[in-house]
Structure 1
Amino acid sequence: MDSMAEEIEKKVKNTDISGVPEDTTTSSNIVEKTSESSPRQQTLDGSFVSIMPKVRTTDGHMVEWDRNIVVNQLLKETSLSERFHGIPAVTRDEALVIAKETEKRIRSMNLRFLSGPLIREVVNMVLIERNDVEWRNISTRVGTPVYDACEIDMGTGFEAKENANLQENAETSHKKKADKISKEQYLLLLPPKLSDLHLNGDLHIHDLEYMGTRAFCQDWDLRYFFYYGLMPDGSGAKASVAGPAMKAEVAVLHAVKALGSAQTNFAGGQGFYNFLTFLAPFLEGKSYKEIEQLMQMFVYEMTQMMVARGGQLVFSSVQLSPGVPKLWRDKPAVYRGRVWDGSDGSDVRVYGEYEREVRLGFQALMNVMLEGDYWGKPFNFPKPEISIEPDFMEEDEMFNRAHPELPTYDDLYNLTFELTAKFGTPYFDNQLPPYRGAGEGISCYQCCAYQFSANAEDDDEFEEKLNFTDGKHFSMGSWQVVSLNCPRAAYEAQGDDKELFARLKGLMDRAIEVFHTKLKWMTPIIESGRMPFATQQPKDPVTGKKGAVAVDMDSLVFTIGVVGINEMVQYHTGSQMHESKEAFKVAVRAMTEMEMHARKISEEHGIEIALARTPAETTCQRFGVSDLLHDEYREKAASVLKGDVESSVSRLKETHDLPVYYTNGTHAPPGADLSLMERINVEHVFFPIVDGGNIMHIWLGEGSPDAKGLKDFTMHLARNTQTGYFAFTKDMTVCMNDFHMMSGLQDCCENCNSDNVEHLSRVTGYIQSVGGWNAAKKQELADRMRYGSPDMR
């Protein structure tokens, strides 16, 4: 074993010929050496046995074999089996039996040299044959063959197209190597039945490489940093600590660095809820040009910080309202290290006083994004999530008359549709449907459309958090996401509705086991201070004592995602869900059954479960390929999979990056020949059911869609459907030769005729270069049904 070899070297000075079996070692032994085999030693009866070969250590030394090192290493390593598998560690007697059997097998190999990894392999073989699977999983190695590591360095091989946000650089190579080791580690530490479910494609554990060290995603309350300042390392021991920002420029930089620092503790997206309202006090009295410069600084900082995991951009979002929401208008402003509620004898300042600053900030941010970067490309981060709220459907006429120089709500919404028509950048958070509960609480979307919310009914401290009493604030995010292979449940149910629903619920129960494992693993991580940014308690600027914890870990939810509901009902009923009422009803019933089961298991297990549509940048492909690889499912999957099934089946032995996929979540298939209204009628029904997050994609076909038409359509959609979150996606092309931007997916530059072009589109929940997409997403891009200027007729 690796560290075994190093231990051997430490002990060799005090060891004689310790590798010779006890019953054959005498002072009169004769050693025979040949050039073709390992040394042999003659015993008293005249026979010869192989002498144990020397061990080659990882640091380049040759040392003598010592059986006791195997024993001691087994005792040490299998102690982990208690922590991770609930199985006692090996006893010394058992370890000695295993070590003797290992020695026997090595001796029979007639080797001249022996390495630590080879010793470990032999030990593992002995453990497997003894059926000590958990001990074997604890004692094995994780790593990668040299050839595979070289492929990663060249941008190919392991998960080369797993994440379109990753860049082609050395940090990405480093991340991929680390990811590979971490994923192997956690699959070995998981209970074998859960590992098998993931590996076999029954379910998918998202961001598996981070499962044992960090939470998934988080939407931050910006007031926390405006009150306490910034402590990027979470402890103050490694990085400089900044007090509360006093100037707008510093406030913006603190916001940027907070999201960047949070990448060390979270695997997914990071965002700010109610971004402009909380920032507004810093903008007081500034001109529009000054505010626009600050917004430009914020956007460029977020799209030029190559500091996230593996040297990628910070996956970020900001929730934007065109004015101060009613819920916040009478709440004390929090900035410059104070809560302006008058409690310390200072002035009372409430967010409603900053309506001007919020409007100008919204206008400035839209104009910055409309301009694009220096080449004219759209900004992919932070994702601007435009809140369509009841508060802003009617104008505040009194305020407008008093401030005719300021843009109205209508003017500001118009800007969002200009941006949509030009780049397709915004996302629309529709809070008009009654189920969204606008005004009764707060909600936000994060990452690629996961939804989080808080309200007075479920949170006893809701009012205190609104007022930032004693540092209490909102903490919304997710611990972990596990997605279910819904089509496979249909393959196994064989047309039986009850069996289908039972299998889906069974998968949800297995997901709960993954979540419990996550909590079990993360508890010592948190207790030992290994999530410092999330668990920080900065110095309170007023009392000088430790402040409130940044993230309330108990408030984080666990998310169960669904993939391929359309293909599930297609196999189950013979029709896709947009093709027959029967298929549609089965889809609705299945999602309702799952949503009710999520509530049930939430209560039973004391953790909050959210049911969501999985963005599935890679999971839709992974599940499809996994089903094609299984003899039991291949023919069934081939009958419903989308993409180029025939060529994919023929290439299964060559690659698993294949152009086949299941449809995301509860969507109608991307290539379904549906009018836009028909697609909406199918998809909007699921939004109230999928409480953990959903999105509707509308793919635009025109080069220059009409902004007014997009606005009219959107407002009608918001008022008359249950669609809670949606985006218009516009395909674009950038010439890498003369930096010219074009609409649509062009093969060559219309300006210089160069074919050195890069396509841009929305991969799942963000705009990114198509060159980094996997084969399935590229196939889906080609399949997408695109629409002209949409209308609701």
Structure 2
Amino acid sequence: MASGSKYADLEISVVKRSGNEESFNVNKFVKSLITSGVDYENVDTILSEIQGKFYNGMSTEDLKSVVYSILKEYDKKTGKSYSKKYMSENCLKIRTSEKEFESFNKEKIVKALIQEAGADLKTAERIALEVESEVKTLNLSYLTAPMIREIVNTKLIEHGLEEFRHKHTRLGIPVYDIIKLIEKGSKDNANLMHNPESIHKWVADETMKQFALLNVFPKYIADAHMRGDIHLHDLEYAAVRTVCCQHDLRQFFMHGLKVDGTGRHTSVSKPAKHPDVALQHAAKVLSAAQCEMSGGQSIDEFNVWIAPYIKGLPYDEVKQLMQLFIYEMNQIYAARGGQVVFSSINLELEVPEYLKGKPAVKAGQIVGAYEEYDYEVKLIAKALVDVLMQGDAYGKPFLFPNIIFKLRENAFKDENKDLMIKIHELSAKWGLPYFINMFADYQFKNTNAMGCRTRLSGDWGNSVEESSLRTGNMQWYTVNLPRIAYEADGDDGKLFELLEEKLSLIKHGLELKHEITKKRLYHDKTHPFLTQKFDDEQYYGYDNTTKTFGFVGLNELLKYHVGSEIHDTKDSLDFGEKVISFIRNYADSLKKETGLRWTVTQTPAESTAGRFAKLDYKYYREETKSVVNGELSDLNSIYYTNSSHVRVNAPVTLGEKVSIEEKFHSLCNGGHIGHFWNAEAYANPEVLMEITQKMAKTNIGFFTYTKNLSICEKCSLAMGGLKDNCNGCGSNSIERFSRITGYLQNVSNWNKAKQKELTDRKSNLIKF
């Protein structure tokens, strides 16, 4: 062969797949070119071009890739012929998800399409054959498994097999987004710091969110969320977790503690005998449950359950024990993504009526009845307040647990006056406690809450305890009220028709979550702590959990639809009541129809109020511009008013704000809150207590006084208000704190929309 002899001095070695080397055989090579369709007279030209790219010790795969790249430029048909004959599936390597290399094998595609996507054999083989043909034309030394999957998915789309593609798709997060999370973090949740654990959580969350939108919810619900018609909260946990729980410590004090729920993976404790152990067990209960739930954890009747353990102890020792508990809850830095447990404790001023006569539990035994421990209940409350007043070693307030006091019949009587003054001293200093107003005419025997405002009332189940203990919110999803107003365009009938349509979407989403959760609890058994049994009864009362409709932006709906804000006119307020009553009636009818516990809540909306506003500005720009809060020059700062609240900078007095917002608390039986901003103007605890007494005569069911705080990082001075410089040393290294939606947190962790809301907030603690 003439051409062969011309290049016979081409002395290079080629490394075969086996790792062995052999000399390059030019005659064999020329034959492969001719077999692929190269005209004999063009062989010398092609050989001349290829020769300059050969090097000693190159692999056969690299050699073939070089040849293919030149041949396909020479003639596509010839290049494809060469690829089919010589770049076989045995030459192309796939880097698998197990971080290994293996040869391309179309049968794996067939198997995956059948098992993962539910394709029939004929369809799977056809797609695999087309993918094999495509892959062989690629000028690559190897492919990755995700690349192969994308090629398969492209073929599925080309053939109109969208359902198969949907099931076969691969979830993940772009490299660029991971880099951003590593370098800058995320501000969707102000309780998360930027650290290695939170970075891993954010990356995992993104994958699970994608999974939920593809596999948990049908397309029409997922699309409604992505458009901003509704908001599916906790998407990252939609497939695996419920939200929150109000815990009852009696089971653990009687039977002991298994933090894994089984005792097979962790050490098991006998019932706590001593108060310090009992408090540590309480902290571990909250921490263990946090591993299985997406939201906050709370202990209802905390000081009632602990009371038997501190009987006979001097006050100083009780205070030291409460300090132990508070530090535990602020230093167990092991909750989701590297944070402390989002926790609350509900406290009584005395043993409530529904617990009188109930056996008191301590160290696995019955030690009388709880009404015998009234003194200890008060002592624990006093000690907790004293510990919280002091703050931590740097003088900062303790951020968790949220402290919630229940105001019952005797709250303002002389026997509780000293304790109530002390509680309001805590309000005046830190703005920490919350209050549940049990005087409101819709309250029933026991009501509890969490700082995020989720609420359980004692009027659901067969007993008050079944209704309010060992259960919580399964999930809430939120409707975008301003968008409904934009789409209704002034038509009342259309507005309520659209509202019912969006509520139906949420209902279906909650029903799916309900069934998925039952599967996780009872079939997959992924919640061993919650489903552990005491005396043959499951700890977690899943059948009593709330399925909840949330809402955002009632004020902006009214501003657009009625022409005035919620605080402006009686007509506007009346129409607002009509809207929320419609949602409540919808939930109540579902309760009768399904036997499930459907409720309505004022959505906390840490990020949702901003998300809805941004999406509405995208799709309904002119309409949104006329009602939205924030700066349109910075779309990250725009937001809607939370739930049915008065706009944060509305020109109203406290009394006016209360008279408006109380109308919605009885309607929102799944959660509500009254936020009264900037209590630093009222440092007198007796003045605050007078306001609380007046509040108890209203239908405001749950409320708090928010005090903005600044802590100097240099000298640790605590100051009221949001300061730029320290009043003591002049330093500008200042940590600033305020309540974001339901908890006190460092302002620097807030997203831009909430930061803008913070600067807009107006004090209204006057003229009640």
TM-score between both structures, scaled by the size of structure 1: 0.85
Q: Which deviates the most, 266-275 or 318-327?
A: 318-327
- Rounded Cα–Cα distance in structure 2 between residues aligned with 1:333 and 1:29: 92
Deviations 1:337-395 (A, max 9, x none): 1345xxxxxxxx11111011111111111111111111221111111101111143445
Q: What letter corresponds to residue 664 of structure 2 in structure 1?
A: F
Alignment pair present for 1:151 and 2:180: yes
Counterpart contact for 2:36–2:78, Cα < 8 Å: no
- Determine the structure 2 residue equivalent to 1:67: 106
Q: What letter corresponds to residue 646 of structure 1 in structure 2?
A: S
**Once the 2 structures are TM-superposed, how far is the Cα of residue 110 of structure 1 from its aligned partner?**
4.7
Counterpart contact for 1:734–1:740, Cα < 8 Å: yes
- Rounded Cα–Cα distance in structure 1 between residues aligned with 2:250 and 2:122: 59
- Determine the structure 1 residue equivalent to 2:625: 638
- Determine the structure 2 residue equivalent to 1:227: 254
**Once the 2 structures are TM-superposed, how far is the Cα of residue 292 of structure 1 from its aligned partner?**
0.7
- What does 1:582-593 align with in structure 2 at a 5 Å threshold? 582-593=571-582
Deviations 1:644-689 (A, max 9, x none): 12332xxxxxxxxx11100001001111111221111211111111
- Determine the structure 2 residue equivalent to 1:533: 529
- Determine the structure 2 residue equivalent to 1:312: 339
1:186 to 187, 212, 225: 212
- Determine the structure 2 residue equivalent to 1:548: 537
Alignment pair present for 1:161 and 2:187: yes
> Does the C-alpha gap of structure 1 residues 49 and 487 become closer, same or farther in structure 2, counting only changes over 3 Å?
farther
- Rounded Cα–Cα distance in structure 2 between residues aligned with 1:250 and 1:60: 47
Q: Secondary structure at the match of 1:333?
A: strand
Q: What letter corresponds to residue 596 of structure 1 in structure 2?
A: N
- Determine the structure 2 residue equivalent to 1:133: 162
Alignment pair present for 1:328 and 2:347: no
Q: Which deviates the most, 223-232 or 107-116?
A: 107-116
- Determine the structure 2 residue equivalent to 1:519: 514
**Once the 2 structures are TM-superposed, how far is the Cα of residue 240 of structure 1 from its aligned partner?**
0.4
2:729 to 752, 755, 758: 752
Counterpart contact for 1:537–1:549, Cα < 8 Å: yes
Q: What letter corresponds to residue 590 of structure 1 in structure 2?
A: V
CA RMSD of aligned residues (A): 2.4
Q: What letter corresponds to residue 315 of structure 1 in structure 2?
A: F
- Rounded Cα–Cα distance in structure 2 between residues aligned with 1:40 and 1:746: 71
2:686 to 690, 705, 708: 708
Q: What letter corresponds to residue 131 of structure 2 in structure 1?
A: T
- Rounded Cα–Cα distance in structure 1 between residues aligned with 2:599 and 2:234: 17
Q: Which deviates the most, 44-53 or 779-788?
A: 44-53
- Rounded Cα–Cα distance in structure 2 between residues aligned with 1:602 and 1:29: 76
Counterpart contact for 1:713–1:791, Cα < 8 Å: no
Counterpart contact for 2:629–2:639, Cα < 8 Å: yes
**Once the 2 structures are TM-superposed, how far is the Cα of residue 426 of structure 1 from its aligned partner?**
0.5
- What does 1:83-162 align with in structure 2 at a 5 Å threshold? 89-156=118-185, 160-162=186-188
- Determine the structure 1 residue equivalent to 2:12: none
- Rounded Cα–Cα distance in structure 2 between residues aligned with 1:91 and 1:707: 73
- What does 1:233-382 align with in structure 2 at a 5 Å threshold? 233-340=260-367, 349-382=368-401
1:734 to 711, 717, 721: 711
Q: Secondary structure at the match of 1:418?
A: helix
- Determine the structure 2 residue equivalent to 1:409: 416
Q: Secondary structure at the match of 1:444?
A: strand
- Rounded Cα–Cα distance in structure 1 between residues aligned with 2:671 and 2:79: 77
Counterpart contact for 2:36–2:82, Cα < 8 Å: no
Alignment pair present for 1:767 and 2:744: yes
Bigger Rg over Cα: 2
- Rounded Cα–Cα distance in structure 1 between residues aligned with 2:409 and 2:77: 96
Counterpart contact for 2:94–2:104, Cα < 8 Å: no
- What does 1:379-390 align with in structure 2 at a 5 Å threshold? 379-390=398-409
**Once the 2 structures are TM-superposed, how far is the Cα of residue 446 of structure 1 from its aligned partner?**
2.0
**Once the 2 structures are TM-superposed, how far is the Cα of residue 323 of structure 1 from its aligned partner?**
1.1
- Rounded Cα–Cα distance in structure 1 between residues aligned with 2:491 and 2:260: 54
> Does the C-alpha gap of structure 1 residues 748 and 36 become closer, same or farther in structure 2, counting only changes over 3 Å?
farther
- Rounded Cα–Cα distance in structure 1 between residues aligned with 2:656 and 2:99: 68
**Once the 2 structures are TM-superposed, how far is the Cα of residue 736 of structure 1 from its aligned partner?**
1.3
Identity %: 35
- Rounded Cα–Cα distance in structure 2 between residues aligned with 1:462 and 1:577: 35
- Determine the structure 2 residue equivalent to 1:35: 66
Counterpart contact for 2:546–2:670, Cα < 8 Å: no
Aligned residues: 703
Counterpart contact for 1:218–1:446, Cα < 8 Å: no
Q: Which deviates the most, 28-37 or 232-241?
A: 28-37
Q: What letter corresponds to residue 750 of structure 1 in structure 2?
A: N
**Once the 2 structures are TM-superposed, how far is the Cα of residue 599 of structure 1 from its aligned partner?**
1.2
Alignment pair present for 1:451 and 2:455: yes
- Rounded Cα–Cα distance in structure 1 between residues aligned with 2:102 and 2:266: 43
> Does the C-alpha gap of structure 1 residues 147 and 330 become closer, same or farther in structure 2, counting only changes over 3 Å?
same
- Determine the structure 2 residue equivalent to 1:460: 462
- Determine the structure 1 residue equivalent to 2:669: 691
> Does the C-alpha gap of structure 1 residues 93 and 324 become closer, same or farther in structure 2, counting only changes over 3 Å?
same
Counterpart contact for 1:422–1:704, Cα < 8 Å: no
- Rounded Cα–Cα distance in structure 2 between residues aligned with 1:131 and 1:108: 23
**Once the 2 structures are TM-superposed, how far is the Cα of residue 451 of structure 1 from its aligned partner?**
0.7
Deviations 1:156-185 (A, max 9, x none): 3xxx10111112211111111111111111
Q: Secondary structure at the match of 2:346?
A: strand
Alignment pair present for 1:490 and 2:490: no
Deviations 1:673-729 (A, max 9, x none): 11221111211111111111111111125455211111001101111x110011101
- Determine the structure 1 residue equivalent to 2:9: none
1:605 to 594, 610, 614: 594
**Once the 2 structures are TM-superposed, how far is the Cα of residue 120 of structure 1 from its aligned partner?**
0.8
User: Which consecutive residues of structure 2, in runs of 5 or more, have no partner in the other structure?
Assistant: 1-16, 19-31, 39-63
> Does the C-alpha gap of structure 1 residues 138 and 337 become closer, same or farther in structure 2, counting only changes over 3 Å?
same
> Does the C-alpha gap of structure 1 residues 319 and 47 become closer, same or farther in structure 2, counting only changes over 3 Å?
closer
- Rounded Cα–Cα distance in structure 2 between residues aligned with 1:44 and 1:702: 80
User: Which consecutive residues of structure 1, in runs of 5 or more, have no partner in the other structure?
Assistant: 1-11, 14-25, 79-88, 341-348, 396-407, 467-472, 541-546, 649-657
- Rounded Cα–Cα distance in structure 1 between residues aligned with 2:560 and 2:372: 57
Deviations 1:758-792 (A, max 9, x none): 1100011000000000000100000001145x452
Q: Secondary structure at the match of 1:490?
A: helix
> Does the C-alpha gap of structure 1 residues 256 and 701 become closer, same or farther in structure 2, counting only changes over 3 Å?
closer
Counterpart contact for 1:475–1:556, Cα < 8 Å: no
Counterpart contact for 2:454–2:601, Cα < 8 Å: yes
> Does the C-alpha gap of structure 1 residues 120 and 31 become closer, same or farther in structure 2, counting only changes over 3 Å?
farther
- Rounded Cα–Cα distance in structure 2 between residues aligned with 1:519 and 1:96: 38
**Once the 2 structures are TM-superposed, how far is the Cα of residue 523 of structure 1 from its aligned partner?**
3.1
Deviations 1:582-611 (A, max 9, x none): 221111101111100111123333422110
**Once the 2 structures are TM-superposed, how far is the Cα of residue 68 of structure 1 from its aligned partner?**
1.1
> Does the C-alpha gap of structure 1 residues 664 and 46 become closer, same or farther in structure 2, counting only changes over 3 Å?
closer
Deviations 1:289-338 (A, max 9, x none): 11111111111111111111011111111111111112222221122213
Counterpart contact for 2:628–2:640, Cα < 8 Å: yes
> Does the C-alpha gap of structure 1 residues 436 and 678 become closer, same or farther in structure 2, counting only changes over 3 Å?
same
Deviations 1:77-98 (A, max 9, x none): 12xxxxxxxxxx2111111122
Deviations 1:476-535 (A, max 9, x none): 201111111111111111111121112112111111211222133223322222111111
Q: Secondary structure at the match of 1:94?
A: helix
Q: Secondary structure at the match of 2:650?
A: coil
> Does the C-alpha gap of structure 1 residues 722 and 116 become closer, same or farther in structure 2, counting only changes over 3 Å?
same
